[in-house]
Structure 1
Amino acid sequence: MTAMPDVLSSPEIRESTEKAWRLIVWNDPVNLMSYVSYVFRSYFGFSPEKAEKLMLQVHHDGFCTVRSGAREAIESDVHAMHGFGLQATMTQEA
Structure 2
Amino acid sequence: MVTLPLEDLDVELTASTAGPWQTVVWNDPVNLMSYVVHVFREYFGFTSERAHTLMLAVHHEGHAIVAEGAREQMELHAAAMHDYGLWATVREAP
**TM-score, length basis structure 1:** 0.81
**Structure 1 unaligned residues grouped into runs of 5+:** 1-8
Match of 1:92 in 2: 92
Kindly, what percent of the aligned residue pairs are identical? 54
CA distance in 2, matches of 1:85, 1:74: 17
**4+ residue runs over 3 A deviation:** none
Deviations 1:9-63 (A, max 9, x none): 8xxxx6xx92200000000000000000000000000000000000000000000
**TM-score, length basis structure 2:** 0.81
Report SS of the residue matched to 1:81: helix
**Structure 2 unaligned residues grouped into runs of 5+:** 1-12
The structure with the largest alpha-carbon Rg is 2
- Please state which structure has a larger fraction of its residues in helix: 1
Q: How many residues align?
A: 84
Give the residue type in structure 2 aligned to 1:88.
A
Q: CA RMSD in A?
A: 2.2
8 Å CA contact 2:19–2:71 kept in 1: the answer is no
